[in-house]
Amino acid sequence: EGKSLRDDEILQHLPVGTTATLYFKDLGPQIGWTTVFLIEYTGPLFIYFLFYFRMPFVYGLDERFTSSPHPVVNLACICHSFHYIKRLIETVFVHRFSHGTMPLRNIVKNCLYYWGFAAWLAYYINHPLYTPPSYGKKQINFAVIMFLLCEAGNFSIHVALSDLRRNGSKTRKIPYPTKNPFTWLFFFVSCPNYTYEVGTWISFTIMTQCVPVGLFTLLCFIQMTIWAKDKHCTYLREFKDYPSLRMPIIPFLL
């Protein structure tokens, strides 16, 4: 069965003997992962503002440049902006990418996903007919606390993963919990960054009580579960001493 080679693998060091057959596939123009993430995450940040500030071409001339009477709408904008600003900061200062580039054509698909959903969420949350959550301040406050905890957890995991690759090393290592309590989720799951990410969007769904946000959260969970299972299998395959208690994304379940 064929196997894709990593960017850092050298032909002379591969255990293939003298009869290996190499197949080359042209993936077309490439783009760096840092650039990919910057483009993907900058879009939602500014697209959301178009709806929040109710530009004339969004809801019509009667509603242009008006503000919502509901404080949760302002809070949702702050949280959404914070999330993507955090992602941009992590892209520049925290993330260390195992692959140098990705095919340029993939960025169109990724941007359609992130930018399209940002517009869909923002349209309904900032709509003049939007109604706040059923349980008022209690529901909103609970969601905000949950949101901030998940964002802090997600950032902590990204820093912990980045520390595994100091000095530019691309050698894969088993991530373990550190003194930071947010990293203790490593005791139970292989990809706690995805667990916290899903938690972030669940909290945003509770905060806004908006169906499109819930659908986006569900798609995020499905996609991140696929990624987590793939990474979990890779860990099990590469490390014989990998902690047996860990699950891909949800402790003890999934």
The whole-number pLDDT of residue 35 equals 85
Q: Residue 66, exposed/middle/buried by CB under 10 A (0-12, 13-18, 19+)?
A: exposed
Asked which of 40-44, 103-107, 207-211 is least confident by mean pLDDT, the reply is 103-107
Q: How far apart are CA 53 and CA 68, in angstroms?
A: 9
Q: What is the mean pLDDT of residues 142-165?
A: 95
For the chain, the average pLDDT equals 88
What is the percent of the chain with per-residue pLDDT over 90, rounded to a whole number?
67
pLDDT digits (tens, 9 = 90+) for 50-89: 999 988 888 887 877 788 889 999 999 999 999 999 999 9
Q: What is the mean pLDDT of residues 9-28?
A: 60
Q: How far apart are CA 234 and CA 236, in angstroms?
A: 5
Q: How far apart are CA 93 and CA 11, in angstroms?
A: 32
What is the percent of the chain with per-residue pLDDT over 70, rounded to a whole number?
84
The whole-number pLDDT of residue 18 equals 59
The whole-number pLDDT of residue 20 equals 64
* pLDDT greater than 80 at residue 108: yes
CA distances from residue 114 to 4, 19, 81, 216 in whole angstroms, order as listed? 28, 45, 14, 10
Q: How far apart are CA 73 and CA 219, in angstroms?
A: 23
User: Cβ(33)–Cβ(101) under 8 Å?
Assistant: yes
Q: How far apart are CA 147 and CA 203, in angstroms?
A: 5
The whole-number pLDDT of residue 118 equals 96
Q: How far apart are CA 64 and CA 61, in angstroms?
A: 5
* pLDDT greater than 80 at residue 152: yes
Confidence of residue 114 (pLDDT cuts 50, 70, 90): very high
Q: How far apart are CA 68 and CA 74, in angstroms?
A: 8
* pLDDT greater than 90 at residue 11: no
Q: How far apart are CA 1 and CA 20, in angstroms?
A: 12
Q: Residue 245, exposed/middle/buried by CB under 10 A (0-12, 13-18, 19+)?
A: exposed
Residue-wise DSSP of 123-170 = HHHT-TT----TTHHHHHHHHHHHHHHHHHHHHHHHHHHHHTTGGG--
User: Cβ(127)–Cβ(141) under 8 Å?
Assistant: no
* pLDDT greater than 70 at residue 143: yes
pLDDT digits (tens, 9 = 90+) for 162-220: 988 776 666 788 999 999 999 999 999 999 999 999 999 999 999 999 999 999 999 99
Q: Which structure tokens are listed for 236? A: 């099990």
Q: What is the mean pLDDT of residues 5-14?
A: 58
The whole-number pLDDT of residue 61 equals 73
